Amino acid sequence: MDLGLGGRGYLLTGASRGLGFATARVLVDDGARVLVSSRSADAVDAAVKELGGAPAAHGSAADLADPDAAERLVAEARERLDRIDGALISVGGPKPGTVLETAEDDWRAGVDSVLLGPLRLVRALVPHLDDGAAIGFVLSTSVRQPIGHLAISNGLRPGLAMTAKALADELGPRGIRVFGLMPGTIATDRIAEIEAASGDAEAMRARTEAGIPLRRVGRPEEFGQVAAFALSPAASYLTGTMIPVDGGVLRAL
């Protein structure tokens, strides 16, 4: 199946590793050009090198919590890619904790990173998007059911999902699609760190897999393939929806 990605340009945040990088890999392999971004300049440089460098891959270090980052990223994407056909917007997970134990300052920091940062980027992007463009948000299964000890994510991700739904209504008449992706447990470096911190990584992995209908965690490329399809012209009638990539973990319809 030809996804129609050849020659198209995409901006991906939080993409120096993990799910964002896996998506960039699929996009580049299918002929698209990308600008990947994350907070670490070294990590961005390494990701760009692994993707093959220019002209297919470019990078820029940025923190979406910085109010000035969005305009700069969009300007760099326009300059280096010549065109922007869409974006995959991902931010790091907010600080863990329970609802009652999480400090108010941590909630404020979560709002800045999970909500305001992505919204600034969308506002900067939209004036430069044409009919056929797509904006994807990397969310979480916490959009539909809470995850233990992740109160801030449980509180804010559903709000961003509904904001994405509203954006789909607002941008639909211009032919711009908006959607969200809800990854379950995917075998990224972050998951490996969490498992190691548990004191028994193998036992934690076994418990996790026992609760997944497919009985295994996902591979980053499995997420990347879904994300790349959703961003591509092949998904031209897909908008306003939240797509689970979770091995069947979500129990709601």
Q: pLDDT digit string (tens) for 43-93?
A: 999 999 999 999 999 999 999 989 999 999 999 999 999 999 999 999 877
1 lies in some domain? no
What one-character-per-residue DSSP string does 40-87 give?
-HHHHHHHHHHTT-TTTEEEEE--TTSTTHHHHHHHHHHHHHS---EE
Domain count, the chain: 1
For residue 217, what is the domain's CATH number? 3.40.50.720
Under a CB-based contact definition with an 8 Å cutoff, are residues 244 and 182 in contact?
yes
pLDDT, tens digit (0-9, with 9 covering 90-100), for 88-120 = 999 877 888 899 999 999 999 999 999 999 999
Torsion angle of the four alpha carbons 29, 30, 32, 36, in this order, in degrees rounded to the nearest 10 = -40
The domain of 109 spans 9-241
Give the model's pLDDT for residue 253.
Answer: 81
Residue 3: inside a domain, yes or no? no
pTM higher than 0.85: yes
Whether 4 is in a domain gets the answer no
| Choice between 201 and 181, residue whose per-residue pLDDT is larger | 181
Q: What percent of the chain stands above pLDDT 90?
A: 85
Q: Looking at the domain assignment, is residue 253 inside a domain?
A: no
Q: Which two tokens stand for residue 250?
A: 């979500």
Residue 96, pLDDT score: 87
